[in-house]
Amino acid sequence: MTAVNSYDALKVLAYAIENAGDDAEAVKSFLKGLKEFPGASGTFSFDNNGDVNKEIMMKKVKDGKFVYID
């Protein structure tokens, strides 16, 4: 989980810099408006506070198979 989230963080930061330039405030503003970024861990967006909105799925192994935890 940590690796895929770190990968997504680097990819979205690179995407923001490519589109907004290297000014920190411009990148911050760009990320706040970013919706439905297709990351390796799933599609996610940022809200006005800069928090990530992403569905989280928890799984466990039961009888040798992965099953979702409700």
Q: Per-residue pLDDT for 56 more than 90?
A: no
What pLDDT digit, counting tens, does each position of 7-55 carry? Answer: 999 999 999 999 999 999 999 999 999 999 999 988 999 998 888 988 8
Query: Which pLDDT score is estimated for 59?
Result: 86
Give the angle 34-37-39 at the CA atoms, nearest 5°.
145
pLDDT band of 1, cuts 50, 70, 90:
low
Hey, how many other C-beta atoms are within 10 angstroms of the C-beta on 50?
9
Q: Which long-range contacts (CB under 8 A, 24 or more apart) does 3-6 make?
A: 4/39, 4/40, 4/41, 5/41
This prediction's pTM = 0.75
Alpha-carbon span 64 to 51, nearest angstrom? 35
